[in-house]
Amino acid sequence: MKSGSASVDNRLNRRSALVPTGSGMVGIRALKKIWMDGQLVDWDDAKVHVLTHGLHYGYSIFEGIRSHDTPRGAAIFRLHEHIDRFFNSAKVYRMKLPYSMEEIEQACVDVVRANGVPTVYLRPVAFSGYGEMGLDPTKSPVQVAVGEWEWGAYLGQKGVESGVRATVSSWVRMDSRMLPPQAKCAANYANSALAKMEAVVGGYEEAILLNSQGMVAEGPGENIFRVKHEIVSTPPASSGILRGITRDTVIQFLRDEGLTFQRTDFTREELFTADELFYSGTAAGITPIREVDGRPIGTGDYPIVRRLQRRYENAIHGGNPEYDAWLSYVDAKAAPARRVPTVARAR
């Protein structure tokens, strides 16, 4: 092999396997650009110092958003609601973001456009940067970035189709007296990671976390819904969950499907006795749960999940004009500026 091609190979390896691939892991394929501190920079230049404050103390808030292909080009799903939550997370943590909501929304659109890949997962992140150490993060400058990568269904396409095996975690979801679960802060994900690793080591695909009252809260990175006798329920925000935007979308779909819906706490044993259970999340989409701790859920058919999945696929791909206001088209000519007819954000 010529030395020139060896170095190209090395560079490709470095760029395309930033994360080791293996069971359940993804390799990030390098794209072209990342938005960082106010401008688009080359992928390999989006770097921070190892003494970056947020890396040490978890003072970092972030979002997970998806863009999908539609007949009018790439469209970001519920961008405004995600950036609204981003700002709310910052507010909880006294983090002063040096950009407006409009600027971060525009950064998301710019990143998708610059990379030229319509189907991506976007990651706005704000963190205490390099400058100071110690436990008062407000002494460090806030840095903001928007990256993106290609990411399939988080719990696998097979999971979306056939359901995943879940286990109730021995780790308890932290409540808002410990760490506010409604703020999407990196620190929360230490709790999620413990639950996820325990599930995977135990041979399951995903965890279900109970809250400190022993009621069902959510998955490590997903909300959870239960169907019993055609009544669909999900734990309320007060159960210590992230108020998912997909959860909100599902709630709207349930109304549009004419199904009975309630926000209510439920117990571990009510997981086992459900007719259907499913996770919702930007990363996971709508993924049925086929088994909890060795107990099969329902009959293995997911009639309500299937209705919701169909609606979701249609909505994100611009196939249902009813939900068009949820799409931010990346090509400005594709659609007029949209404003949000947000529905079920309460509780």
Ligand X SMILES: Cc1ncc(COP(=O)(O)O)c(C=O)c1O
Residue 281 β-bridge partners: 285
- Identity of the residue, 54 or 221, whose beta carbon is nearer to ligand X in the bound complex: 221
Q: Rounded to an integer, what distance in angstroms lies between the CA atom of residue 279 and that of residue 85?
A: 20
Other CB atoms within 10 Å distance of the CB of residue 277: 28
What does the block give as tokens for 221? Answer: 């990175």
The residue number with the shortest CB distance to ligand X is 244
Helix H or strand E encompassing 329: strand 327-329
Nearest distance in Å: CB 223, ligand X: 5
Q: Rounded to an integer, what distance in angstroms lies between the CA atom of residue 161 and that of residue 138?
A: 45
The answer to whether 251 touches 343, Cβ cutoff 8 Å, is yes
Nearest distance in Å: CB 72, ligand X: 24
- Identity of the residue, 187 or 227, whose beta carbon is nearer to ligand X in the bound complex: 187
- Identity of the residue, 140 or 225, whose beta carbon is nearer to ligand X in the bound complex: 225
- Identity of the residue, 205 or 222, whose beta carbon is nearer to ligand X in the bound complex: 222
Residue 260 β-bridge partners: 231
What does the block give as tokens for 198? Answer: 């325990």
Nearest distance in Å: CB 199, ligand X: 14
Residue 234 β-bridge partners: 263
Angle ∠(315,255,335) on CA atoms, nearest 5: 30
Q: Could you confirm whether 196 is annotated as catalytic?
A: no
Nearest distance in Å: CB 60, ligand X: 13
Q: Point out which residues bind ligand X (CB under 6 A).
A: 64, 192, 218, 221-223, 241-242, 244-247, 280-282
* Catalytic residue, candidates 2, 33, 184, 333: 184
Catalytic residues: 184
